[in-house]
Amino acid sequence: MSTSESPLDPLSQVLNGRSAPFVPVAPVYEGLGPLEFHWMKLRHDKWRHLMDDAGVERVPVDYGTYLGLELSILTETLDDCYPPPAWLALPRRQSEDQASGATVIRRGADLYWVSHEGEESWLPPDRATYASRQVQERASHYYGLWQRGYHADQLEEVIARADTPSSEPTPEEVDRELASGRYEVARALLDRHPGELPLYESCSSPYIELLGLLGFQGMMTSLVEDPDRTHKLLAGGLPRPSARLAAAERLGVGIVFVEECLSSADLISPAMYREFVFPYTEQTLEFYESRGFRTVFYFSGDLMQLLEDLKQLPWKALSFEEDRKEYGIDLAEVRRVMGPDRVLYGNVDAPFIEKASDEELLREVERQIDVAGRRGRFALSPGSPFTPDTRLDRVRFFCESTRML
């Protein structure tokens, strides 16, 4: 895997057990918050300028133009505010079949991407407009998840999957996936930043997938009321070989970010964690590690009561929240329990990154390195996504902070 073996990429060096010239920076969920808004605005503005130049209110999507615009969005972001070697989620874009035949239309200040099947996706003109609609949409989304899962109709399918043998994709299937056009932006970025841009895949643990199947209430009650079915759903949610994953391997993606939420000690008991979460997270991590990926395991919530359990999991790096909910999350104590040789991600407070002075932020970065990372087994990260109001120049400052010390 070219990414994981790159001599120029400090994150992959650390994840592969080697020393690095400086502490790598790998912000969790980097595509949310300020970068999400930045990409959104760039996408709207680039299509609007194209339409203005042509003097039209709608434009058929040319696949080459689409790829060029998507590549420019990411290259400008990397150049201006998120410089390599900070890691980046593997950018899959629409396939040539998906993009070709689409149309971008203008209605007032808004643009809409209309697929060849007539489905519309909004391209908002600015952050304020996006945020006002986003609040309503996400409130509806989370209300639905509280009451009932969005994929409740797939319960039997997931249960049946647990008893269905998995198989590796054929070389032809992987070739078709790579030839779909979805990876052209990723290829171009890797060519532009040879050996210094760690790309990663992301997935959720089988436990958190229960949320989409059962809703929050159903997820919580199922642990007590129907444990047998819950175990079947968890087994059916384990990762399997796929052409998509094999394509990432071939591209040189060497890292998988595994998210686990709603399993912390403030929500379920340690005994429930050990029965319903631990064994399936363990199998998930083993699956990716056996394929040569290096796993970064993100545990959301109070991990302090579960440190000895988490220590037994086969992750290559452990990432966790900052101490903002009075859990007593302490990077130094996590390091003490995990020992000096396992890789930890830092948990710098995201609002602190937004509001602190440069000097204050550098002091906190240095403190985290002192308690967890002088031995080369540490990556700097916020404990949660950058806050939406974090300035882009502050994102860049954080990404370059470890090289300033």
> Which pLDDT score is estimated for 149?
73
User: Pairing between strand 255-260 and 199-204?
Assistant: parallel
> Which pLDDT score is estimated for 265?
86
Phi, psi torsion values for 363, nearest 5 degrees: -65, -40
Exposed, middle or buried by CB within 10 Å (0-12, 13-18, 19+), for 116?
Answer: middle
- CA 321/CA 303 separation, integer angstroms: 9
> Which pLDDT score is estimated for 266?
86
Instruction: Please tell me the pTM assigned to this model.
Output: 0.93
Closest by alpha carbon to 208, among 258, 246, 174? 258
What contacts 299, CB < 8 A, 6 or more positions away?
260, 263, 264, 306, 310, 318, 319, 320, 321
Name the token pair of 390.
Answer: 């974090």
Closest by alpha carbon to 42, among 80, 67, 77? 77
- CA 318/CA 315 separation, integer angstroms: 7
The domains of the chain, with CATH numbers, are 10-30+82-89+151-403 (3.20.20.210)
CA distances from 296 to 27, 65, 287, 368 (A): 12, 35, 13, 18
pLDDT tens for 130-180 read: 877 766 666 666 666 776 777 888 899 999 998 899 999 999 999 999 999
> How many alpha carbons lie under 13 Å from residue 50 in its C-beta half-sphere?
20
- CA 322/CA 27 separation, integer angstroms: 13
- CA 29/CA 298 separation, integer angstroms: 10
> How many alpha carbons lie under 13 Å from residue 201 in its C-beta half-sphere?
26
Name the token pair of 10.
Answer: 């400090």
Contacts 24+ apart (CB under 8 A), 71-77: 71/184, 71/185, 71/188, 71/189, 72/42, 72/46, 73/39, 73/42, 73/43, 73/46, 74/39, 74/185, 74/189, 75/189, 75/192, 76/42, 77/35, 77/38, 77/39, 77/42
Digitized pLDDT (tens) for each residue of the chain, 405 residues in all: 344 444 468 999 999 999 899 999 999 999 999 999 999 999 999 999 999 999 999 999 999 999 999 999 999 999 999 999 999 999 999 999 999 889 999 998 889 999 989 999 999 888 888 877 766 666 666 666 776 777 888 899 999 998 899 999 999 999 999 999 999 999 999 999 999 999 999 999 999 999 999 999 999 999 999 999 999 999 999 999 999 999 999 999 999 999 999 999 889 999 999 999 999 999 999 999 999 999 999 999 999 999 999 999 999 999 999 997 778 899 999 999 999 999 999 999 999 999 999 999 999 999 999 999 877 899 999 999 999 999 999 999 999 999 998
> Which pLDDT score is estimated for 138?
67
> Which pLDDT score is estimated for 373?
81
> Which pLDDT score is estimated for 3?
42
User: Pairing between strand 110-114 and 120-123?
Assistant: antiparallel
Amino acid at 132: S
Is 65 in contact with 96 (CB distance < 8 Å)? no
pLDDT tens for 208-238 read: 999 999 999 999 999 999 999 999 999 999 9
Count of C-beta atoms within a 10 Å radius of residue 293:
25
CA distances from 350 to 33, 115, 326, 345, 385 (A): 11, 37, 15, 14, 7
Is 123 in contact with 44 (CB distance < 8 Å)? yes
